[in-house]
Every structure is written in structure tokens, then in C-alpha cells.
Structure 1
Amino acid sequence: MSAERRVPADFEAALLSLRGHRPRPEFRLEEVPPPTRIAPFALALTGEVNPTGDPDDHLGGGRFVVLYDPDGQPAWNGEFRVIVMARAQLEPELGSDPLLGEVGWTWLTDALAAEGAPYHSLSGTVTRALSETFGGLELRSGTVDIEIRASWTPTALDLAPHLRAWALLTCQAAGLPPAPYNVSTLYRNR
């Protein structure tokens, strides 16, 4: 029989700071099972950029993970670590842009700055994938996807700015125009 672990106060405060946030109506959040072997405590959310809710209108998505180790981890330089991934399909002509990686990384750093998310020890990758179709799939055109993966150590227990920054990054990668909070964008029905 195992005793139930008590949730540390700092982790509980960080989780409470994430409640009730919906950055924009096109961005849908869902809690999913977190990783279990990286840290003693974790939370994971997925996000989908979809203006209508129709599966055909999916524009992009990603994952937001909060890890907490009360003893800290040297690689994190702290007790918390935020890990994000944002993925979206791009216009085909962007696939050959030599600056695409730098642009994707700038989307992330600009989103963190715009939301006032305090952090240190930022690292990550920007990947582009060009897919060409052959055989029975020739009816589909080739696609270009961008995937931004990053992690950083937040310097405050309020993780809401980090969540909003990830949502902003994901929406920007998916091609949504910038929109102030509490303003809805109108979409034409198909």
C-alpha cells in the first residue's frame, strides 16, 4: 500500500494560477495525462487552434507541460520547468525560407516578452518538415509544417503569463492574426 503524496504548496499555487484562462476563442485547452518519470509533480495541457470546432478547420496545436521537483534539478537551474511544443502547417512557399527557424524562435521569445513571463535557461528547437505525396496520395499537395519545442525555468509561481505566451505562440504559428484579449474574430462559414 502506498501513501498518497501531498502536493507541495508551491506546485499547488502554480497550478491555481493556470485556472480560468482562455486566451482567445479559437484556442481550445484540455488537460491530459502528464509525463510521470521526469519530475515528482507535473501537469500537461494540449491546445488546439480551431476557429469553428470542425475537424477540417484545425490550424495547429501543441502541448504545455509544467514540471516541479521540490529538490530542484541542476539542468533546470530551479524547481520548475515549463516545456512547450507548438505545431502548425504553413504556406508551402515558407518551407524554403532560410530564416524560418529564426522567425519561429522569435515568435516564442516575443510571446514571452509580450505576456511578461519571467524566465531563465531557455532552450529549444525549431523544425520544419516538408512532406511530398506520391502514389495514391498524389491528389494531396505537399505540405510544410513548423514545430517549435522549447523549455525554460519560470522565475515566479504565477504561470499564467507562460500559458498565455504558449497560446500566443501556437496561434501565431497557426497563422491567426494578432487579436487583443476579449475581442472575437469573425470567420466566414464554408
Structure 2
Amino acid sequence: MSVHRLTPSDHGFGRAIAAMTATPLRPEVELTEIPAPSRMAPHTWAASGEVLMHDEELASGRLVVLFDPDGNEGWQGRWRMVALVQAQLEPEFAIESMLGDVAWSWVTESLELADASAHELGCTATRVVSQSYGALASRPSTVDVEMRVSWTPDEDEAEAADDPHGTVLLAPHLVAWSSMLAAAGGLPPSPAPVAPITPSHRARSPRPGDEA
């Protein structure tokens, strides 16, 4: 049962979400529908995602889909994707000054590879290095990366395909977000049906208690 209530007058929002969630993702990504924030737009949907490999969580995040049938000036469109990506990287990334640029490349390349045309794209990448001293000096250093990304899907292609409700519009953007998760988790680009053998870097999702 869906955790969201969709009214008959949702302007095709329900159909668009149903088509999007039917899209196959790469096998390492697990998607779970969660309650969406209701005040951000007239219609909202949200999910959490995890990248799992060999029973280990490599990355995690959330995706919120916003829809305003009247359009939103700040979005420059009717739809808006708001994404969170989190992962814990190996200590070598503590001295990687270009990590922000690498994280940005995960975003742009994921959108490009998924053919997810977008505008008003923005990203904030935060790196947190945790080092322990004194009685806790034996604990290894950790590096956490958090990416907050938002973008507006281009609706020109949906209009050209005579799809006024955007039924096929959102699928590439869900794939793109899942690819951002996979990249943060150290997995190389891969089509959905193909599972990579090894990660390109060691990573896991931050866990409760890591900062204790």
C-alpha cells in the first residue's frame, strides 16, 4: 500500500510516479518509498535508497519529487527533483582537495548517462573528516561525503512525445539519482541489468554511532 494519498485531480502526478517507479534500476540499488514532505509543493513523493554489495551498505540517500501543475518560478518548470547522497570513503580521501569536483562529476555524468535532460541544476558537496586523539587515537580516521542536489527535468521531450502529464519524463531522473548513489559508493557506471565485480573505491554509508 502506498504511503501517499493521490487525489483524482493530481494532474497526472500519480501516473508519472507509477511509471517512474516501474523503471528497472541496477541490482545493487534498493529503493523504499517513504512519506514525503507535504509543504514543499502541491504534490510530492519521496523514497530512500541504499547501495548494497556483498551485504554491505556502500551509500545511501533520499529523493523527493516535487510537482506544481501551475509551475514554479524558482524551479523554472513544473517538476523538481531534490536528492541527497551520502557515503563514507576511505581515509585517503581526507587529503583529496578535489573531492568536491569529483562529487560534482558524479552528478553531471549520472544525468548525462541516463539521458536525463535538466536545467537549474545545483549541488552542494560537503566533506567531513573525523580524526580521533588521546584515548581514542587508535580509531581510524573517517571521511564522509554528503551531496545535496536539485534540478528541474526538461519537459520539452515529453511535450514532443505528446505526453502532457510527463508519464515518461521522470524515469531517466530516477536512474540518474541511483547512478549518483552508485558512484558515491564506489561502483563504476553500469547498465541496470549488469552488476560490476568490484567497487572503484572503498565506501560505505555513514552509520549511527560512527561519531560516538
TM tier, smaller: 0.7 to 0.9
Partner of 1:17: 19
Count matched residues: 181
Runs of at least 4 residues of structure 1 off by over 6 A? none
1:119 maps to amino acid: A
Aligned counterpart, 2:178: 167
Identity of aligned residues (%): 42
Taking structure 1 as the reference length, the TM-score comes to 0.86
Q: What is residue 205 of structure 2 aligned with on the other side? A: none
Partner of 1:48: 50
Normalised by the length of structure 2, the TM-score is 0.78
- Is the contact made by 1:22 and 1:29 (CA closer than 8 Å) also made in structure 2? no
Paired residue for 1:78? 77
How do residues 88-107 of structure 1 correspond to structure 2 at under 5 angstroms? 88-107=87-106
* In the alignment, structure 1 residue 36 sits paired with structure 2 residue 38: yes
Give the superposition deviation at 1:129. 0.8
Distance 1:20 1:140, change over 3 A: farther
| Cα distance, 1:71–1:135 mapped onto 2, change above 3 Å | farther
Q: Which residue identity is paired with 1:63? A: R
Q: Which runs of 5+ in 2 are unaligned?
A: 1-5, 156-165, 199-212
The separation in 1 between residues aligned to 2:137 and 2:52, in whole angstroms, is 26
User: For residues 157-182 of structure 1, what are the alpha-carbon distances to aligned partners after superposition, in whole Å with 9 as ceiling and x for unaligned?
Assistant: 21110000110111111112332331
Q: Distance in 2 between matches of 1:41 and 1:111?
A: 25
1:118 corresponds to which residue? 117
Answer whether contact 1:22 1:28 (CA < 8 A) is retained.
Answer: no
Uncovered stretches (5+) of structure 1, i.e. residues with no partner: none
| C-alpha separation in 2, matches of 1:22 and 1:29 | 11
Shift of 1:100: 0.8
CA RMSD of aligned residues (A): 1.9
CA contact (8 A) 2:59 2:182 kept: yes
Amino acid at match of 1:9: H
Instruction: Name the CA shift for 1:11/1:114 in 2 (closer, same or farther; >3 Å).
Output: same
